[in-house]
Structure 1
Amino acid sequence: MMMMMILLLCLIIFITILFFNKQAKRKKSKTPPSPPRLPLIGNLHQIGHHSHRSLRSLSHRYGPLLILHFGRVPVLVVSSADAARDVLKTHDRIFASRPQSKIFKKIFYDWRDVALYPYGEYWRQMKSVCVLQLLSNKMVRSFREVRHEEISLMMENIRKSCSLRVNLSEILTNLTNNVICSVALGRKYGGATDFKELMKRLVRLLGEFSVGTYVPWLAWIDWIRGLDGQLNKTANDLDEFLERVVQDHVDGDGDMIDFVDVLLAIQKEKSLRFEIDRLSIKAIIFDVFVAGTDTTYTLLEWAMTEFLCHRECLNKLQEEVRTICKDKSSVSEEDLQEMSYLRAVIKETLRLHPPIPLLVPRESTEDVRLRDYHIPAGTQVMINVWAIGRVAATWGPDAEEFKPERHLDSSVDFRGQDFKLIPF
């Protein structure tokens, strides 16, 4: 009996020490503010259908840096330009990795692509290939004729349909699909019904929420609601399509060098520090396709929508085009360089309607101090660029209004150096 009492006392002392150590650590390491959460699911119940809007509402209440808990996963939400700079520039190496998701793992060949692969040697090498080989100025210029041809075809279709009702969304989608298919895959696939349906399924899946990723013991819900079945079927259909594309390039001899040809040449030359396999080629090609299609036609749709609501802006842009092009029947890429109001329209559309309202999530690889807050390793980071583009302190009291003129005398660019405008 005495021995049991001693053991019980030791256990109480041990638990007490652990409790006070934990409390001391919490006081020592200040964490960002966080709204109250429910057991097991955390703050998931506070995220609505439009997550970027829900997160912005929470940031108005708790500040530009706040911590949420999606099940067992801590998530840092960033809603200001200064905080985004700390994550993307000051501590970029620590936040360079990506969180693991069941959906992305299945579709992107175990994260063999560039956008989602964890930070490391493979990521650095493949990013270098994309920047220097696939997206170089020389490569972009080489596809000028493709862009010109597809835009001419689009304009001709609009002319033929001008007396009828025109589905502009479908026209813009076909334009971007055809251009990216020609550039990345060597030929157009946009006319195939099965290909269009596959792309629609992919876009829907990429926007799905996987319960099992954040609450593992509830992973069965993904199976019950059909997510696992859709994921397997779509991933298999995608792989069959990309395998056919790659094999066509291996067997054929196309006139134009496209992205698949470049990657196959790198594989054959073995110029990287590691061997690039077939799965990596398919993953990177899919990266380029997804990044170039959905984002582009989303931006074009929003720009046209804003013009419908702001006729005076459309009139200004029409006047600029007519002044610079004068008697020309079409606009050349050289003419675009002189159109300052057009650039302002693009910037304003990207500010209010970034194609990806929440940038691709990141994950901290080690503990870090961010704005006097302690951020532990393994914390996911969501940067709400949609909210950053609407901060009144940055853009003025009319931040919610579409006003391209605000960019005419501004040096702010959208290429990643000005963190108040980082749509990409």
Structure 2
Amino acid sequence: MNSLSICVLSLLFFLCSLILLKTKKNVELKHNNNHKFLPPPSPPKLPLLGHLHLLGSHPHRSLWNLSRTHSPIMLLKFGSVPTVIISSAKIAKELFKCHDLASCSRPRLAATAKYSYNFLDLIFSSYDDHWRELRKIYISELFSPKRVQSFQHIREEEVNQLVNSISQSSSSSTLFDFTVKSYSLTSNIITRIAFGKSTRGSESELDDGNVEGVIQRASAAIGCFSASDFFPSFGWIIDRLTGVHGRLEKNFKELDAFLEHVIEDRINFRTVCQKEENILDVLLRMERDCYEFGSMKFTRDCIKAVVMIL
């Protein structure tokens, strides 16, 4: 065998070795990737519906029972939306520790989009530059230590009102409903801090019944699921046929009109009476000054979204 043949055979052997090593490496990499991204356990699902049929009238109990049967971490498909369900405090802690950025945003649902004025608030907006800028506003403008301290007299006055009410009821035969009084205490403190008015009595539209009714209907609308949340491509048709969309629009318009009235009432009040700023005054000042955060300007919808959370 001459030297040329030896060189050719050596080259072929070398090339074959490279191909074998490359193939083995690809197989190992594919195996590792499959093992790494192995999805969590998942119960049998139905076509189109996925696992929606497994949710009863109390979804949290249904999910808990499923986790006991399958795993504390499950992959369920609600319609066309894949969802990871975690029913273990230890696993949830590990998730937030190692994958915080991937799990810190809330789902973008139809109702929350509506009531947050297209995610302009701090709670329902995704974790991004907008959220971080809005958080700075909360910390530096709305709830700074100095401003929180300035509302101390409001908290003291409302607590004194509650104590006096308890004292008066103890000397009479009437029953004292502490649940109602606790709600009234919280409502009065928040509305006085936010709007400069109490829900006690019937001042303008901030009376107890009206505020509670508006908020309860809004909360119920936010808590209802829409078909568009599970089937983004065609769910909006189902929502219109079932009346879910109409009820959402009606409740939102009611709340929007209420917030608009409160804002206009406060603007008119400030023109004739200069008192200490409440939270709504701060937001209105930011709107007048064309305050910019990120790539957005602070608009009336931004004010309503913040007040909605309050």
Deviation of the 1:90 alpha carbon = 2.5
RMSD over equivalenced CA pairs, Å:
2.4
Alpha carbons of 1:73 and 1:271: their partners in 2 closer, same or farther (altered >3 Å)?
closer
Q: Any conservation in 1 of the 2:130–2:293 contact (CA below 8 Å)?
A: no
Residue 242 in structure 1 maps to residue 250 in structure 2: no
Deviation of the 1:214 alpha carbon = 0.2
Q: 2:58 aligns with which of 50, 74, 84?
A: 50
| Equivalent residues in 2 for 1:20-419, closer than 5 Å | 29-162=37-170, 163-189=173-199, 190-216=206-232, 217-253=234-270, 254-269=274-289, 270=291, 272-273=293-294, 274-287=296-309, 289=310
Deviation of the 1:83 alpha carbon = 2.5
Q: Any conservation in 2 of the 1:41–1:215 contact (CA below 8 Å)?
A: no
Instruction: Report what 1:12 is aligned to.
Output: none
Higher relative contact order (CA 8 A, sep 6+): 1
Deviation of the 1:192 alpha carbon = 4.5
Deviation of the 1:115 alpha carbon = 0.8
Instruction: Output one character per residue of 1:193-252: Cα deviation in whole Å (capped at 9) or x when no partner.
Output: 332211121121121111221024354443344322221111111111111222233333
In 2, the alpha carbon distance for the partners of 1:197 and 1:42 equals: 36
> Percent identity over the alignment?
32
Partner AA of 2:211 in structure 1: F
Alpha carbons of 1:67 and 1:267: their partners in 2 closer, same or farther (altered >3 Å)?
same
Partner AA of 2:257 in structure 1: E
In 2, the alpha carbon distance for the partners of 1:132 and 1:81 equals: 33
Deviation of the 1:42 alpha carbon = 1.2
3-state SS of 1:93 partner: helix
Alpha carbons of 1:81 and 1:135: their partners in 2 closer, same or farther (altered >3 Å)?
farther
Partner AA of 1:100 in structure 2: R
Deviation of the 1:271 alpha carbon = 5.7
| Equivalent residues in 2 for 1:11-26, closer than 5 Å | none
Q: Any conservation in 2 of the 1:158–1:166 contact (CA below 8 Å)?
A: yes
Alpha carbons of 1:132 and 1:91: their partners in 2 closer, same or farther (altered >3 Å)?
farther
Q: Any conservation in 1 of the 2:226–2:235 contact (CA below 8 Å)?
A: no
Deviation of the 1:135 alpha carbon = 2.4
Deviation of the 1:28 alpha carbon = 6.1
Moved more, 155-164 or 118-127: 155-164
In 2, the alpha carbon distance for the partners of 1:56 and 1:268 equals: 50
Q: Any conservation in 2 of the 1:40–1:215 contact (CA below 8 Å)?
A: no
In 2, the alpha carbon distance for the partners of 1:88 and 1:183 equals: 33
Q: Which has the larger radius of gyration?
A: 2
Instruction: Report what 1:302 is aligned to.
Output: none
Instruction: Report what 2:202 is aligned to.
Output: none
In 1, the alpha carbon distance for the partners of 2:96 and 2:136 equals: 18
Deviation of the 1:114 alpha carbon = 1.1
Partner AA of 1:283 in structure 2: A
Instruction: Output one character per residue of 1:259-298: Cα deviation in whole Å (capped at 9) or x when no partner.
Output: 11222233344363441111011101111x2xxxxxxxxx
Q: Aligned residues, how many?
A: 266
Question: Normalised by the size of structure 2, how large is the TM-score?
Answer: 0.77
Instruction: Output one character per residue of 1:9-64: Cα deviation in whole Å (capped at 9) or x when no partner.
Output: xxxxxxxxxxxxxx988666201111111111111122223322222222222232
Partner AA of 1:111 in structure 2: F
Uncovered stretches (5+) of structure 2, i.e. residues with no partner = 1-29, 200-205
Partner AA of 1:272 in structure 2: F
Partner AA of 1:197 in structure 2: G
In 1, the alpha carbon distance for the partners of 2:209 and 2:49 equals: 40
In 2, the alpha carbon distance for the partners of 1:203 and 1:50 equals: 17
3-state SS of 1:161 partner: helix
